[in-house]
C-alpha cells in the first residue's frame, strides 16, 4: 500500500539503503524536504515501511518549465526487485500529471540507471560524480 508520509519517516531507509548506514538517520534530511509542494511517498507491507521516494519542485538545469525532482528513492534490500520502486514512481507520476508538471527528473545513480530506463526515463547528461556517493546521470520523463 502506498501513502503519503512525513520527511522524517524516510530517514531510516535513506540512512540504511542510500548512505550504507554511514550517515545516521537524523542527518538524512534535505532542505528541499519541507519546501512548499514537497511530498514523500511510502510503500508499506504488513504495516512496515519498505519503500520511499521524495519529490520537490525544482526546474531542470537548462529548462525553466515547471518540473519536480525525485530524490531519496530507496527500497529495503529484502524487498528489492519486486516491483515496489516501480509502483512508487508510477504513483507519483499520476499525482504530478494533475499538477501541470512538465517533467519529473532526478540524478540517478549509475547503478540504478536501468531501473529508470525501464520506466521510460531518458538520460540527459554525461555521467558525473557526486562526492561520497558515486557516479550519476541526470534522467527525466516527460509527463
Ligand atoms: C533502484 C531501486 C529503487 C529499484 O527499486 P526496486 O523495487 O528494487 O525495483 P523494481 O522491482 O520496481 O524494478 C522495476 C524494473 O527495473 C528493473 N531493475 C530494478 N533495479 C535494477 C537494476 N539495478 N539493474 C537492472 N534492472 C533493474 C527490474 O528488473 C524491473 O524490471 P521489469 O519491470 O521488467 O520487471 C532499489 O533497487 C534500490 O533501493 N536500490 C538501492 C538504492 C538506489 O540505488 N536508489 C536509487 C538512487 S538514484
**Residue 111 Cβ contacting ligand 1 at under 6 Å:** yes
Angle subtended at Cα 143 by Cα 121 and Cα 85, rounded to the nearest 5 degrees: 50
Q: Give the tens place of pLDDT for each residue, 84-139.
A: 999 999 999 999 999 889 999 999 999 999 999 999 999 999 999 999 899 999 99
pLDDT at 61: 86
- Single out the residue of 80, 84, 57 nearest to residue 69, CA to CA: 57
> 62 falls in which pLDDT band (50, 70, 90)?
confident
> 74 falls in which pLDDT band (50, 70, 90)?
very high
Number of domains in the chain: 1
Pocket mutation for ligand 1, best pick of 112, 137, 138 (most atoms within 8 Å of C-beta): 112
Angle subtended at Cα 140 by Cα 139 and Cα 143, rounded to the nearest 5 degrees: 165
Q: Give the tens place of pLDDT for each residue, 116-125.
A: 999 999 999 9
The pTM score is 0.96
**Residue span of the structural domain in which 20 resides:** 2-142
CA–centroid distance, residue 112 to ligand 1 (Å): 6
Q: Is the pLDDT assigned to residue 64 strictly greater than 90? A: no
Question: Which CATH number is 14's domain given?
Answer: 3.40.630.30
Amino acid at each position: 500500500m502506498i501513502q503519503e508520509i512525513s520527511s522524517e519517516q524516510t530517514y531510516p531507509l535513506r540512512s540504511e539503503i542510500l548512505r550504507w548506514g554511514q550517515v545516521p538517520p537524523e542527518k538524512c534530511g534535505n532542505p528541499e524536504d519541507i519546501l512548499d509542494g514537497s511530498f514523500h511517498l511510502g510503500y508499506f507491507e504488513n504495516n512496515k515501511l519498505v519503500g520511499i521516494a521524495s519529490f520537490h519542485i525544482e526546474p531542470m538545469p537548462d529548462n525553466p518549465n515547471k518540473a519536480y525532482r525525485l530524490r531519496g528513492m530507496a527500497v529495503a534490500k529484502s524487498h528489492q526487485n519486486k516491483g515496489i520502486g516501480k509502483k512508487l514512481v508510477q504513483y507519483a507520476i499520476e499525482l504530478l500529471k494533475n499538477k501541470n508538471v512538465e517533467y519529473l527528473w532526478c540524478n540517478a545513480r549509475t547503478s540504478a540507471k536501468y531501473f529508470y530506463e525501464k520506466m521510460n526515463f531518458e538520460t540527459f547528461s554525461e555521467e558525473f560524480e557526486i562526492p561520497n556517493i558515486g557516479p550519476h546521470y541526470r534522467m527525466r520523463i516527460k509527463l
